[in-house]
Amino acid sequence: MTARTDRKRAEGDGTMTASGRNLALGEALRRERTRRKERQADAATRFGVSQPSYHRWESGENRPDDAQFADVARYLGMTVAEVWELVHGADAAPVSLEALRGQVAAVERDLADVREMVRRIVSELAPPDGQADQAKKAPSKKAAAGGRRARG
């Protein structure tokens, strides 16, 4: 094992991590594959990956992409949420498209509220109509005195 591999495992970047979660999914895949009396190559074909890739799933070095969780769940006789929990832990629930749309709508409403507040603040700080023009036309005291100092 190289220092780079060790560092990747320590950093937990997800590609080389032999974490307990990846191992838990890998063990479940291995148990199901052996129960079905399949070879790794057979299981790999089922998931549309190479045999070495599937081997890395079982060994915990890597895991299926999130998009493959439905296929993995069917294979294991589990729900997608159960597979997600195996890989991501109990605290990280999968996010549905509907939930994301709801969050986007809430952010859009918040943004509209902020825009309205900024508009109100700006209108409160701006001088009433006409006063801004008068302020521009009114000469300053210095200008009214001709800009001269009294000598004395």
Q: Please check whether residue 106 lies inside any domain of the structure.
A: yes
pLDDT tens, residue by residue, 61-84: 888 887 888 899 999 999 888 888
Q: What is the pLDDT of residues 90-120, one digit of tens each?
A: 666 656 777 778 888 888 999 999 999 999 9
- Residue 144 falls inside a structural domain: no
Host domain of residue 76: 3-88
Domain boundary residue among 88, 117, 144? 88
Distances (CA, A) of 94 to 26, 54, 57, 73, 144: 19, 23, 20, 14, 72
Tokens 């591999």 belong to which residue?
5
Positive or negative torsion for Cα 61, 14, 63, 77:
positive
Q: Where are the alpha helices (DSSP H) in 36-96?
A: 40-47, 51-59, 69-76, 80-88
How many CA atoms within 13 Å lie on the side-chain side of 115?
A: 6
Same domain, 41 and 77: yes
Picking from 64, 88, 112, the residue at the C-terminal end of a domain is 88
The residue out of 37, 56, 88 marking a domain boundary is 88
On whether both 105 and 80 belong to a single domain, the answer is no
125 lies in the same domain as 84: no
* High-pLDDT (> 90) share of the chain, %: 37
